[in-house]
Amino acid sequence: MKLKLGDMKNSGQIFQKFSAVIILFAIIIIFGIGSPRFFRVQNFLNIIGQTSTLGIISIGMTFVIITAGIDLSVGSIMALSASIIAVSVTRWNFPPLLAVAFGMMTGICAGVFNGLVITMGRIQPFIATLGTLTALQGVALLITRGFPVTGIPEGLLVFGRMKVGVIPPGFYVLAMVAVMGWIVFNRMVLGRNVVAIGGNEEASKTAGIKVRLTKVIVYGISGLCCSIAGIVLMGRLRSSNALMGNGVELQAITAVALGGTSMAGGMGTIGGTIIGVLTIGVLNNGLDLMSVTPYWQKVILGTIIVAVVLMDSWRRRKFND
């Protein structure tokens, strides 16, 4: 019996909708079989706690990628924001609240700068954010003098250490950011504009959408999420350093792609990104439990990135033609 073209498209849409959940459960089953310690409740709580920072960054990255952009500087923005807060309160004698505000404004301004360079300078997002990745990391090294900043007041560490019952630290902040991201994406004009721009930028301009302004705002949101993630990670580490965000950009991109967001833009969800983040967390945790070396973990992560991009490209060609 032959499948009709419409049936194939419907099957593809169903797979596209639930693929992130299917992949997550498949990985959970594999590691559950491979390690007897994997299915312990405490292990799952550890995964949630360890992925909170990545989740916050990935929510901002979701908005960027849906506009058909990319932000490679998220790790540097996170480290710079946290370093600004730590140095402000320990060396420059800023009041804690002012230090936090200063750090968050640093993240927002860094994101807005990325947006302006991309839109006004007409530079590809990959190149623009690759440049700011290096530059902002250099600024963070200058501010911290290349050493970890310690002696941070306990009041500034609460967001990364706050724990109620068995719920791990950072979960509450991630949940709050996820809810706000969902509201912006699903209930505000900005969210609809983001999807329209990613789907067809020229048509969006014709429809009267302010494409440049929207992109600048989106990169600003990404910078804000990075600064919030920096505060959470600073609390977990009880310190801050200029290299604390190294490699997080690749994990965030992978998580967003695994969550079903198209790397070509125009399609994605906040819920899908959370599933993608949990997938990365489960993958890293399971590989650690099975004593896989960090070198092989990098190989596996890179392979997943390529596989997800290929799957996304095939999916768009197969079911959107």
Task: Write the DSSP assignment of 215-261 as a string of letters.
Answer: HHHHHHHHHHHHHHHHHHHHHHHTSB-TTTTTTHHHHHHHHHHHTT-
In a domain, 87, yes or no: yes
| pLDDT for residue 169 | 76
Going by the DSSP 8-state scheme, the letter that residue 89 receives in this structure is: H
pLDDT at residue number 311: 76
Is 209:36 a contact under the CB 8 Å cutoff? no
pLDDT at residue 81 in the model: 97
Domain that holds residue 257: 38-313
Residue 12 forms part of a structural domain: no
Tokens (6 digits) for 266: 């125009």
How many helices and strands (H and E) does the chain possess?
14, 0
- The Cα diameter of the chain in Å comes to 75
17 within domain boundaries = no
pLDDT tens digits in sequence order for the chain, 321 residues long: 444 545 445 555 555 567 778 888 888 998 888 888 888 888 888 898 889 999 999 999 999 999 999 999 999 999 999 999 999 999 999 999 999 999 999 999 999 999 999 999 999 999 999 999 999 999 999 999 989 999 999 888 887 776 666 787 788 899 999 999 999 999 999 999 999 999 999 999 999 999 999 999 999 999 999 999 999 999 989 899 999 999 899 899 989 988 889 888 888 999 999 999 999 999 989 988 888 888 888 888 788 778 877 777 776 666 555
Q: Is residue 177 part of a domain?
A: yes
Q: What is the CATH number of the domain that holds 262?
A: 1.10.3470
Evaluate whether residue 121 is within a structural domain: yes
Q: Facing residues of 149 across strands?
A: 240
Is 71 part of a structural domain of the chain?
Answer: yes
**pLDDT number for residue 26:** 87
Q: Does the residue 32 lie in any domain?
A: no
Cβ atoms of 221 and 63 closer than 8 Å: yes
Number of domains in the chain: 1
- Answer whether residue 27 is part of any domain: no
pLDDT of residue 137: 95
Residue 319: its pLDDT value, please? Answer: 53
At 10 the pLDDT is 54
